[in-house]
Structure 1
Amino acid sequence: MQRNRAGAENVFQSLRVDGRILTMLIVLIVVWTVFQLLTLNQPGQFLSPQNLWNLSVQTAVVGIMVGGMVLVIVTRQIDLSVGSVLGFTGMIMALIQTVPPLGWGGHWLLALLVGLALGALIGAFQGYWVAYWGVPAFVVTLAGLLIFRNATFIVASGRTIGPLNDSFKVLGGGLNGSIGETWTWVVGGVVMLLIVYHSLSNRSRRQKNGLPVRPMWAEGVVMGFLLMLTLAFVLVMNAYTYPGTNIPRGIPVPVLITLLVLFTLNWVTLNTRFGRYVFAIGGNPEAALLAGINVRRMLVWVFALMGLLAALAGAVQAARLNFVTNSMGNLLELDVIAAAVIGGTALAGGSGTIVGAAMGALLMSSLRGGMVLLGLPTEWQNVVLGAVLLAAVIWNTVYLRNQKS
């Protein structure tokens, strides 16, 4: 018994995989399996291409923002305003497209750029008060939640704004909002090449600097798993066709945007000075300051990035709905924070991963989607999500405590 346990521990150590990410993967597999068994006799099974395609689109909005929230929480801050900023910037983008000022029509691209710039400015403004005036982020962003939620109502005079430009709606994955079969294979191929390149280059770099590396068999297992996961994703996206045809839809545009955001943020956190500074600040702000890091400026940049991502998510949400209501994004900040925490981000700061947060967002969407398929009342859905969040926080606390000991 002890020999088998020691062997399993040696295999796990050789793979050098974060235990929290591995746990998230196991939980996802269990959740998907359970929902598939429970919906086996239904027309819309949980693991059907249509449901998985829709699930990916439903995850996009939270997925776009969750990476930014990880960086905010890692620096020991919080942003409660992201749902309101999403709604406000989405409304501004809708107004520019549908209510031309001074008789001059607002192009959808102009609306998008204005919305993104506005989101970044709002984030930087909030970060300024946190970084330079020492106002707690909880208070600043709670004020932002109230201000921008009601500002959305004020600028639209309580109206629902739409319909939006057809080109803009592509961002939401509606009609013609997918990249098609060929480009889906191209994207999948590029991702596979990047996986191989990153694995080999990272191994070579670690060896050159005298750092420990995985055994070759373990490197092959991890690389092979990621390649198979990418292939499965491409096949599922191409398995869902347009109604009445055999034409594959491919990857939805909002999912492509989400993947680009998450890949970029993951690369930034692992390979750039900015990413190292963020984690240094979260680990020990005083030590980071003494090391020469401009902590205040970094905090402003982190909040500005969060505002930018909230605006991008607002564009995707508005494009998906085609109409922007005053309540768009209401309480969405709770989903984003919960996804980050479920994905292993420590609320105390200094610890978190973009990959884990993305899996947290996918787990939350999977739970919601599965419970909707089963016809579970909203009240029970929230009870289940709350229980999962509590379990994730407890597991994360225990894991970090064991790592320190």
Structure 2
Amino acid sequence: MSDATQSTPAPKRSALQALEIDTRLLGMVGAFIVVCLVFNVLTDGRFLTPRNIFNLTIQTVSVAIMATGMVFIIVTRHIDLACGALLATCSAIMAMTQTAYLPQLVGLPLGHPAIPWIAIAVGMSAGALIGAFQGWMVGYLAIPAFIVTLGGLLIWRNVGWYLTNGQTIGPLDPTFMQFGGINGTLGTTWSWIIGILAVVAAIWALFSARRNKIAHDFPVKPMWAELVNAGIIATAVLGFIAILNSYEIPRGRLRRLFEARGETLPDDFTAAYGLPISVLLLIAIAIGMTVIAKKTRLGRYIFATGGNPDAAELSGVNTRLLTVKVFALMGALCAISAVVASARLTNHSNDIGTLDELRVIAAAVIGGTALSGGIGTIHGAILGALIMQSLQSGMAMVGVDAPLQNIVVGTVLVVAVLVDIIYRKRLGAK
């Protein structure tokens, strides 16, 4: 049978309503495009070059990963001021595991195949345990999250300092450093393969959801709207891959890579970086966190608790244990961000993650997460992180002083919250 005979007829709507695009998300995308175009003009076309877009993506990953966890924290009406400091502690633990603990205690030299994976497992375990401990204090001891994590900000930043005796630890394991961006990319061919597979999976999910709605007699979009949405997805994904694949590896770096293999670089040989492994990691985390938010009991409990904690508890939700789980998840994500951040720098430094807690909170809030709880999206937080990084990178390229950069970012955060309040009031009025 046709879709029309199996589904409930939808009332006549405008083209934008038929596409069912979130107007707030559309506004964020528009703001991001405006920021990019303005900085591209101010930098004489350097902002939107493949090289800068590549750098922008790998610089965004660390904050964006933590922002996905901050969505759950804020949705449950809490806050985490310790995520940047926890990142530093996890980074210190993983750096020391690679360069000191495993070589000295177990006899595994730096470069051993097991080194990076053991270090990452240790770092994620430490991050999850620390996060769970903070969540236990918030959930079971009823200490406000603001106080617990403010104390954590001071504690974990200095725990990381003591673990390394205040020294920069590096270089790190070569395999570990592949998670940092420029040291680990997929190349042109694999980037296209991943991009095409991503488009196929996204379109399959789009039409699978349509079939499920039809099967349960729910209204569906017109077929033309589904095709337009599929076209937007395909254009965005493949366009992004094309931009990354157009950033060629400099001749000097290629020459060193060939010399390391005992080969000579041919005169006409060229190669592109392609999709960074760190960006692929962010995409995987975003998908996983979205599935948790929309398809699992944990996600339903998180949003129900944020919407009305008393009602959730009366319905049988263990809100105290839920708080522990949310903070433990945030701690694990801080450890993953530590992998990306330290791998990008190729070492652990004491100032790693400084002020990241403010960037992460700003990314989540700019992305539409309500500080009153109950509302937030993973893709919105990632877009918020991208907007924040674009602002900072653009201002740095223009030559704006660091103090003025912070003033602008702070102003944008306040304005974003004000716009969110006005937007939700208008929705409530309707």
Smaller-chain TM-score bracket:
over 0.9
User: What is the alpha-carbon root mean square deviation over aligned residues?
Assistant: 1.6
Distance 1:93 1:102 in 2: 15
Q: Which one-letter code corresponds to 1:133 in the other structure?
A: L
- Matched residue, 1:303: 327
The more displaced of 383-392 and 57-66 is 383-392
* Structure-to-structure mapping, 1:271-282, within 5 angstroms: 271-282=295-306
Classify the secondary structure of the residue corresponding to 1:348. coil
Q: Are the counterparts in 2 of residues 82 and 333 from structure 1 also a CA contact under 8 Å? A: yes
* Structure-to-structure mapping, 1:3-402, within 5 angstroms: 10-40=14-44, 45-100=46-101, 101-102=104-105, 104-105=107-108, 107-175=115-183, 177-244=184-251, 246-402=270-426
How far 1:9 moved relative to its partner? 7.9
How far 1:213 moved relative to its partner? 2.6
TM-score, normalising length: structure 1: 0.94
Classify the secondary structure of the residue corresponding to 1:133. coil
Distance 1:103 1:345 in 2: 45
How far 1:212 moved relative to its partner? 3.2
How far 1:209 moved relative to its partner? 3.0
Distance 1:207 1:67 in 2: 31
Q: Are the counterparts in 1 of residues 168 and 348 from structure 2 also a CA contact under 8 Å? A: yes
How far 1:103 moved relative to its partner? 6.0
| Greater radius of gyration (CA) | 2
- Matched residue, 1:5: none
How far 1:292 moved relative to its partner? 2.0
How far 1:340 moved relative to its partner? 0.4
Classify the secondary structure of the residue corresponding to 1:385. helix
| Post-superposition CA distance 1:59-117 (Å, at most 9, x none) | 01011111000011001111111000000010010011111343633722211110011
| Post-superposition CA distance 1:357-394 (Å, at most 9, x none) | 11101101111111111111112211221121111101
How far 1:12 moved relative to its partner? 2.6
Distance 2:182 2:242 in 1: 20
Give the share of equivalent positions with the same residue, in percent: 45
Distance 1:127 1:268 in 2: 19
Q: Which one-letter code corresponds to 1:395 in the other structure?
A: V
| Post-superposition CA distance 1:137-162 (Å, at most 9, x none) | 11111111111011111111111111
| Post-superposition CA distance 1:272-310 (Å, at most 9, x none) | 222111111111111111222222222111111100000
Q: Are the counterparts in 2 of residues 122 and 304 from structure 1 also a CA contact under 8 Å? A: yes
How far 1:311 moved relative to its partner? 0.5
| Post-superposition CA distance 1:211-252 (Å, at most 9, x none) | 333222222222211111001111011111111252011111
Structure 1 residues 212 and 299 mapped into 2: Cα distance closer, same or farther (>3 Å)? farther
Q: Are the counterparts in 2 of residues 14 and 215 from structure 1 also a CA contact under 8 Å? A: yes
- Structure 1, unaligned runs of 5 or more: 1-7
| Post-superposition CA distance 1:317-368 (Å, at most 9, x none) | 1111122112211111000000000111111100111111111011011111
Distance 2:144 2:92 in 1: 28
How far 1:267 moved relative to its partner? 2.1
Distance 2:169 2:130 in 1: 22
Structure 1 residues 103 and 214 mapped into 2: Cα distance closer, same or farther (>3 Å)? closer
Q: Are the counterparts in 2 of residues 20 and 356 from structure 1 also a CA contact under 8 Å? A: no
Q: Which one-letter code corresponds to 1:159 in the other structure?
A: Q
TM-score, normalising length: structure 2: 0.89
- Matched residue, 1:4: none
Distance 2:300 2:219 in 1: 20
How far 1:40 moved relative to its partner? 2.1
